[in-house]
Structure 1
Amino acid sequence: MKKVIHAIGNYFRTTDYWLLLLCITCSGISVVLLFGIYRNEYIGDGKIFTQAAAILMGLMAAVILSKIDYRFIAKMWKLHVPLALFLVILTFFIGKQVSETVDDKAWLEIFGFNLQPSEFLKISFIMSFAYHLSLVKEHLNAPKNVLLLCLHGAVPVLLIHFQGDDGSALIFALIFVVMLFSAGLSWKYLVTALVGAAIAIPVVWFGVMNYDQKMRFLAIFHPDDPEFATIFYQQYHGNISIGTGGVWGKGILTDKLRYVPEMHNDFIFSVAGEMLGFVGCIAIIGLLAAICLKILHNYRRCPDALGQNICVGVFAMYASQIIINIGMNLSVVPVIGVTLPFLSAGGSSILSTYMGIGLVLSVYLYNTKGLFTDNIS
């Protein structure tokens, strides 16, 4: 036991322990919120045990990944990218629907557990795209390289879109854009991209978005219109839930929580608003913002392009999910099925979230005191 305690203490002394502690704190809040939902009999106790187990497994995965040189992981893209893509493609044939509130079959049942492959594809994409960017950093703005980078980013975005999970597809797209421009892409391409996006808006609206997606978007602007009552039901009750919490909330032991569909998952922030109040919501936002800032701090202290790209990718993944999820809960953006990092229930989401932390910690550990700082070859 002494050896175990010594090993844990030694690890905390060498790693970015503040980042790890912030993540653990958010996960602890997640378990407390799920317990509150369980007390009100909206979920079974299995959700709590699954979340706790996923957090422990995620922490283990983060520690293991942090002890592996991120350069080695990046060079192994020929192994993890095909595997992640294979699992996602498999959902087109044997995918399952895990909830009545979602209409995409984005999960696989493996040994009795539900696995969402797109969550792990995020990590694989960040690593492979970071590696790709580091290889072409000297000639990033060459048209051929830009084209190949865009094709690299288009693969997961289109694959997840055709899978039916447009929320995750949007996250992939945002990760791609943030990583690409942070790597030094010319402003000329940015202007071109903005013009292209403006032209694409009507094409997407009339040619890509289905009726349900359009209604979700329009409901944001017409919350009181009876025509949108059904489609706005989830966000309507989420808003009431947050509002009834007041400044200090009803407390973690309240037995008067309002029911909100997917309150343990996409709408966990509304539960926080009701249980912990405005103060609790601000504290959660502060913790999540601190995690993102710590990742950016590690980005700034990293001497090589690959490590910087990895940190930016993980930051983009978290920041985009945080903004969109909280926006969903506040009825600022339509519901698109995006989880809140570290807090929403879901084994795959928790595991991939902690794997991202593991990559950032690897960048931290392998660039401390000048260790292993040779440029990637």
Structure 2
Amino acid sequence: MLLKRSRYSTAKIRWKSWFRPWHQVDLLLFILVIALTIFGGIMIRSAELNQGLNDWFWHLVTGGVGLFFALILARIRYENLVQWHWVTYAITNASLIAVMIAGTSAKGAQRWIPIGGFYVQPSEFAKIGVIITLAALLHKHTADKLPNFIRALAVTAVPWLLVFLQPDLATSLVFGAVVLAMLYWANANIGWLIILISPVVAAIVFSIQWPFPISITTDLYLAPLGLIWALTIGLIGWRTLPWRRYGVNFFGPLLINILCGQLGMFAWTHLLKDYQKGRITSFLNPDADPLGIGYQLINSRIAIGAGEIFGWGLNKGPMTQLNFVPEQHTDFIFSAVGEEFGFIGCLLLITLFFFVCMRLLHIAKTAKDNFGSLLAIGVLAMIIFQMSVNIGMTIGLAPVAGIPLPWMSYGRSAMLANFLAIGLVESVANFRHFQKY
């Protein structure tokens, strides 16, 4: 009897020692992302059921590989990345340059590099590289001082520009969301953040030309709403920026916004082609081109609406099974969930993402240092932005962009990148307190 107890105790000790390197990881976070991955595989299979494809299988395989790497990262001290952040930054930029030189093109963009029979999308992994680099820069020199704020922007500008030139506007927007969130978490002045995004808003506001444009020359317009926006930004600059001599802190932001507004109007009028304008504005009125640009969005909304409260059931959604929604297994997987599981299924899916975000926020708040906290916030911003834009575009609240739904949409590079990001955050959780093995 004593011998049996001794063997049981020894086996128990060995079992515990095997798991000891991960004993402080956030287990719930791992469970949530695994559940999302499995659910994504189920929905991808349903969307492809009548097409003879097996992307659902590769989705789950890639998820398993990603989980393996996430577990490895979780047991490696994340602090080691600080001394390697410039190497990470160099590799990130080199991969983005490589895809522009030797990458393959699809749908007008050059984003993939063929490696061993697989197509790798470096821009997905560049998100993690930017998060690591920014966290390393801001963990000691916080963004409450303008030189540190500008340095962080300058460092981010290089990979952002390389992604934008592919062109991959959707991923470049993800970069923007990540940078804003990390700068905010690093104590940046709110006014500086507003000034940072103001040129983009000015380009949109001036292009609206509401209630009417006042023509000065054939190419120069003063939209009243745009002028109000530019004056507001000028006042914010006057209150928050240090360059007060000659009113530079007021007139600088004001004039930049007016200039960007004019450039936005010029680009809309003379540079963008009709189909590009259509992709940007189709979500406002998809019925204007129901068989062209608006086709995907119209059918996505029909599929989600057809699911009503409880849905048609797995593998039973007419729109999904008859392949009425293009790219449903990738960017529009949420429409399959809405049709086959209804409002309740969509609500449960969003709830899963909510708990993922809450766990990421908890890890950011309980990290032992600024570097770990900033890593978690960067990943949180990446997930929230991608989830919000993806769901928004499937229901007609945002322009159609090539942003996948994390762990749900089919995409091997995106899946691996998301799991690597979770592995980094789990390392932050695992090493919140000093431990010896």
CA contact (8 A) 1:39 1:255 kept: no
Distance of 2:135 and 2:19 partners within structure 1: 31
Are 1:58 and 2:51 matched, yes or no?
Answer: no
Counterpart for residue 130 of structure 2:
125
- For residue 10 of structure 1, report the CA deviation from its aligned partner: 4.8
* Range with greater deviation from structure 2 (19-28 or 232-241): 232-241
Structure 1 Cα separation of the partners of residues 18 and 315 of structure 2: 33
Q: Report the CA distance between 1:121 and its aligned residue.
A: 0.7
What RMSD in Å do the two structures reach over aligned CA positions? 2.2
Higher relative contact order (CA 8 A, sep 6+): 1
- Where in structure 2 are the equivalents of 1:97-136 lying within 5 Å? 97-98=105-106, 102-136=107-141
CA contact (8 A) 1:15 1:365 kept: yes
Say which SS state the counterpart of residue 14 (structure 1) adopts. Answer: coil
Verify: 1:230 aligned to 2:230, yes or no.
no
Amino acid at match of 1:248: F
**Greater displacement, 169-178 / 191-200:** 191-200
Give 1:33's aligned residue. 43
Q: Distance in 2 between matches of 1:20 and 1:264?
A: 23
Alpha-carbon deviations, 1:239-279, whole Å to 9, x = none?
A: 11112222212222327324211111000101111121111
* 1:207 matched residue in structure 2: 267
User: In the aligned structure 2, how far is the partner of 1:87 from the partner of 1:364?
Assistant: 29
Match of 2:373 in 1: 308
Q: Distance in 2 between matches of 1:329 and 1:48?
A: 20
Q: How far 1:200 sits from its partner (Å)? A: 3.9
Code of the residue aligned with 1:313 in structure 2: it is G
Give CA deviations for 1:14-39 in whole Å, capped at 9, x if unaligned: 32100000000000101111121232
- 1:12–1:273: structure 2 CA closer, same or farther, 3 Å change rule? farther
Work out the CA distance in 2 between the residues paired with 1:94 and 1:307: 35
Match of 1:97, SS state, is strand
Preserved CA contact (<8 Å) 2:360 2:380: yes
- Does structure 2 conserve the Cα–Cα contact (< 8 Å) formed by 1:223 and 1:229? no
1:44 aligned to 2:27?
A: no
Alignment partner, residue 218 of structure 1:
281
1:182 to partner: Cα distance: 1.6
The TM-score, its normalising length taken from structure 1, stands at 0.90
* Alpha-carbon separation, structure 2, partners of 1:129 and 1:11: 27
Q: Deviations over 1:269-300 (max 9, x none)?
A: 01111121111111111101110110001111
Corresponding residue of 1:73: 81
**Cα distance between partner residues in 1 of 2:301 and 2:156:** 35
Q: Report the equivalent of 1:296.
A: 361
Give the conservation status (yes or no) of the 8 Å contact 2:41–2:56.
Answer: yes
Give the structure 1 partner of residue 303 of structure 2. 241
Q: What amino acid is the match of 1:311?
A: A
Opposite residue 237 of structure 1, the aligned amino acid is N
> Secondary structure of the equivalent of 1:308?
helix
Distance 1:9 1:276 in 2: 37
1:105 aligned counterpart, secondary structure: strand
Mapping 1:148-163, distance limit 5 Å: 148-163=151-166
1:339 maps to 2:339: no
- Asked whether the 8 Å contact 1:205–1:214 carries over to 2, the reply is no
- Say if 1:341 and 1:353, in contact at 8 Å, map to a contact too: yes
Q: Percent of aligned positions with the same letter in both sequences?
A: 30
Task: State whether residues 75 and 427 of structure 2, in contact with CA within 8 Å, keep that contact through their aligned partners in structure 1.
Answer: yes
Q: What runs of 5+ residues in structure 1 fail to find an aligned partner?
A: 373-377
**1:375 maps to what in 2?**
none
CA distance in 2, matches of 1:195, 1:262: 33
Contact 1:40 1:255 in 2 (8 A): no
Q: Does residue 1:182 correspond to 2:185, yes or no?
A: yes
- Please tell me whether the aligned partners of residues 21 and 75 of structure 2 are also in contact (alpha carbons under 8 angstroms): no
- Cα deviation, residue 87, structure 1: 1.5
Q: CA deviation at 1:196?
A: 3.6
Distance 1:176 1:88, change over 3 A: same
In structure 2, relative to structure 1, the CA distance for the partners of 1:186 and 1:243 (3 Å cut) is same
Deviation at 1:117, TM superposition (A): 0.4
